[in-house]
Amino acid sequence: AAVVPKVIPLGSVLVIEGDDLPPTVVVAVDIGGAIRARRIDLYLGAGTDSLREAGRLKADLRVSILEPALRDR
């Protein structure tokens, strides 16, 4: 996923879900030059069909950042 690092740090493990999307785990690995705060871009694959789908796909999603459990000391 491409993110705004001030909002979601690179390397973060995210769970995204929406009305038509079951909970899905993605990793914040890129900086989206065209995205602004409170948005993410998802890679949908290569090729003409994927590019067309990505260009029309906009959805409200819930995004959760998973945090590692603290280890007992």
How far apart, in whole angstroms, are the C-alpha atoms of residue 4 and residue 1?
Answer: 10
With respect to residue 40, please indicate whether it lies within any of the assigned structural domains. Answer: yes
Question: 55 lies in a domain?
Answer: yes
Q: Per residue of the chain (73 residues), what is the pLDDT tens digit? A: 999 999 999 999 999 998 888 999 999 999 978 787 788 888 878 888 887 777 677 888 999 999 877 766 5
By residue range, what is the domain housing residue 6?
2-66
Give the total number of structural domains in the chain: 1
Q: Decide if 48 is inside a domain.
A: yes
Q: What are residue 17's phi and psi, to 5 degrees? A: -155, 155
Residue 44 in domain: yes
Distance CA 70, CA 33 (A): 33
Q: Which two tokens stand for residue 35?
A: 């995205």
Per the CB < 8 A criterion, the answer to whether 44 and 53 are in contact is yes
β-pairing, 13-18 vs 21-27, is antiparallel
- The verdict on residue 72 lying in a domain is no
